[in-house]
Structure 1
Amino acid sequence: MADTAPTASRRSPLADAAPRLAAVTRSSRGALRLAELPFLAQVNVRLDAKSPAADAVGLTLGLQLPLEPDTVVHAGEVTAVWLGPDEWLVVGRPGTEHDLESRIRTAAGDAPGAVTVTDVSAQRTTLLVGGPRARDLLAHGCALDLHPRAFGPGRCAQTMLARTQVVLVAREETRAGFWVLVRSSFAGYLADWLLDAAAEHA
């Protein structure tokens, strides 16, 4: 049976920052929402986008791996993030990383061509940045054009935020905001930066 929840002994990189992140949400009166989304399953997939393996993986996940650069495809509790012409990050709910990895490997296993499937869940944590002022907050430290016309729902980018490398995802759900996927070792620094930048909205 697949794991469906993180073990009790796991501690997220931003566990200590949770009260301060929640305080911003309260003090900004709905203008901003900051929170950690800990332990999201993250599986890196590399394969030929035009191969039978890509079709097989998409079928088992219930979605088509995005082929347009810097786009995201979402189906149910699984999100596929485009990282390159032959690379994707498949994100799922906490505790499902082993199941996702196994399903992807099985689907692609008999297909010809090189396929790499790697569980990278422990490498990153995810910050949620939401609310009407989310784009303004992120723009303080990101050189991307974050206007909805340029970076609307369903878009993603590997970029720098406050001099920290992140994967930025504009969520498709109404008012869902942004995912900021950051390496665990930089998560504390980035959270502190977000908290400081958010002070003007409090």
Structure 2
Amino acid sequence: MAEQTMTINAPEDTVEAATSTTETPGTPRVDRAVVLGMRRSPAQDLAEEMLRGSGEAVRLREVPFLTQVAVRATPGRSGALADALGVDLPTSVGEVSGAVDGSDVAVLWLSPDEFLAVGRDEAETGVSPDAYAGGLADALGSDPGQVVDVSANRTTLELSGTRARSVLEKSCEIDLHPGKFAVGTAVATLLGSTGVILWRTGEDSWRLMPRASFATHVARWLLDGMREYV
């Protein structure tokens, strides 16, 4: 499959705006790079704590500011939408299409007509999440569905290492054995009593996507479960 990029179908003027300046009538122009550099992620204050709590067998870090776009559509109904995404919409529970390792655009199945398109940080791609969502909405056109930028809704925590699955199995009740939960699988589930999207991106790597307001709780919950392996 050809490499996907976050610039697909994004209007040229919005791409330029994302990489240069922002301007509101009557106000000074603002360098977009400066704005991006001032962002604070939901788990930013825990970066050192996560580093100290990690070891060779299991590691925890935040992967902040990923572009996340909620898509409601019928698989196979909108070819233009699939073209804009660069991948087909998943069609079954847990399926991830596109870059299953999270290196580029991936689309996660959440329900029969609900998906989450996940891409790289705007600072890497030069395309703002709202511009990307706008391109997808244009591609959806008059077909039934909806496209919404939800990038600020969740953050992403990456748990990796040979003991990562052991840590998750302490408080996640679904079967995480590779025979049931293969690389490239993602589901909405509970970690303890907290809702997360759990995505297996590699043999020993997992991404957990909690609501931003639960980032601190989930990170410290995982750190506590990691103690015996560090």
Q: So what's the TM-score if we normalise by structure 1? A: 0.89
Q: Which residue of 1 aligns with 2:76?
A: 50
Q: Which residue identity does 1:100 align to in structure 2?
A: Y
Contact 2:158 2:207 in 1 (8 A): yes
C-alpha contact 2:76 2:89 (8 A) present in aligned 1: no
Question: Which of these residues, 99, 107, 116, is aligned with residue 139 of structure 2?
Answer: 107
RMSD after superposition: 1.6
1:39 alignment counterpart: 65
Deviations 1:55-82 (A, max 9, x none): 2111122111111211111246101000
Q: Partner residue of 2:47? A: 18
Give me the whole-angstrom Cα distance separating, in 2, the residues matched to 1:48 and 1:142: 30
Tell me if structure 2 keeps the 8 A contact 1:162–1:190.
Answer: no
Distance in structure 1 (CA, Å) of the matches to 2:203 and 2:191: 23
Distance (whole Å) between structure 1 residues aligned to residue 165 and residue 203 of structure 2: 15
Which of these two proteins has the greater Rg computed from alpha carbons?
2
Q: Deviations over 1:163-187 (max 9, x none)?
A: 100000111x565x11100001111
Q: Aligned with 2:37: secondary structure?
A: coil
Task: Letter of the 2:190 partner, please give it.
Answer: M
Query: What does 1:56-135 align with in structure 2 at a 5 Å threshold?
Result: 56-75=80-99, 77-95=104-122, 96-109=128-141, 111-112=142-143, 114-135=144-165
- Structure 1 alignment gaps of length 5 or more: none
**How far apart in 1 are the matches of 2:203 and 2:170?**
23
Partner of 2:207: 179
Q: In the TM superposition, what is the alpha-carbon distance from 1:106 to its structure 2 partner? A: 1.6
Given the alignment, which residue of 176, 189, 192 partners 1:159? 189
Q: Is the 8 A contact 1:168 1:178 kept in 2?
A: yes
Partner SS for 1:153 = coil
Instruction: State how far apart, in whole Å, the 2-side matches of 1:67 and 1:99 are.
Output: 26
Identity of matched residues, %: 38
> Residues 75 and 90 of structure 2 are in contact (CA less than 8 Å); yes or no, is this contact kept in structure 1?
no
Unaligned runs of 5+ in 2: 1-13, 20-32, 123-127
Deviates more, 1:1-10 or 1:179-188: 1-10
Distance 2:184 2:157 in 1: 17
How many residues get paired? Answer: 193
CA distance in 1 between partners of 2:136 and 2:226 (Å): 39
Q: Secondary structure at the match of 2:36?
A: coil
**What is the rounded CA distance, in whole Å, between the counterparts of 2:211 and 2:134 in structure 1?**
24
Q: CA deviation at 1:20?
A: 1.3
